[in-house]
Amino acid sequence: MTGRSARRAPPPESGLLDWRDSSHWSKTERPCRYCGFPTYLRDSKRSPAHKVCAEDALAIQAAEAADAYQKNGRLHD
């Protein structure tokens, strides 16, 4: 063993999240936690969420964190 770590596959081309794993699917349709429309998709905590809605929420969180860091020089007050 050379001590080098294994390379990971590149992220999927479309979007931020890769929900190809079957753990992100449910047989039961439930309202999305973000938009309220029905979905069979589940996020990593098994909450109902559309992939696009979850990506939008992540983008908003990242922008808010960047803004807070830029204003305060840190992430939290």
Assess if residue 41 is contained within a domain: yes
- Specify if 38 maps to a domain: yes
Residue 63 domain flag:
yes
Residue 14 maps to a domain: no
Residue 61 is encoded by which pair of tokens? 């969180």
pTM (2 decimals)? 0.65
Across residues 2-20, what is the average pLDDT?
Answer: 59
68 falls within a domain: yes
Indicate if the alpha-carbon torsion angle 33, 34, 38, 39 is positive or negative: negative
Does a structural domain hold residue 10?
no
Look up the domain containing 28 and give its range.
Answer: 22-72
Per-residue confidence band for 56, with pLDDT thresholds at 50, 70 and 90:
very high
How many folded domains does the chain comprise? 1
Residue 17 maps to a domain: no
Do the domain assignments include residue 7? no
pLDDT beyond 50 at 67:
yes
